[in-house]
Amino acid sequence: MIEFMREGGFGMWLTLAFFLAGAVASVLRRHRDGERWAYGGAIAVLASGLLGMSTGLYMTVAHASGDAEILGVGIRESVNNTVFAAVLAFVLAFAGLALAGRGAAPKAA
């Protein structure tokens, strides 16, 4: 897992920070608007994953100088950002669904 994170670069750590912020905020606000924080965190996680992939691809293309092997490795490492972000965004989105379901219970008359 550490190798996966190292290969992905700085974007992986930014994605992890957004995930942790969204998870903590949604847990702390679970009785009022926790699902919104979870959904917002999922969006931030996806955005940071795409940012990490974009910067990684840019650096790969800028420094590959026509070497297909370096280009292939760089693309694989850049895509790690998107894979990591997608997994974490799914976790936050499902947490948001669970939190939204908690508030939907009908009140006794």
Q: Is 97 helix (H, G, I), strand (E, B) or coil?
A: helix
Average pLDDT rounded to a whole number, residues 37-64 = 91
Range 19-33 burial, b when 16+ CB lie within 10 A, else e:
beebbebbeeebeee
Asked whether the whole model's pTM tops 0.85, one would answer: no
Average pLDDT rounded to a whole number, residues 93-109 = 72
39: nearest Cα among 51, 22, 24: 22
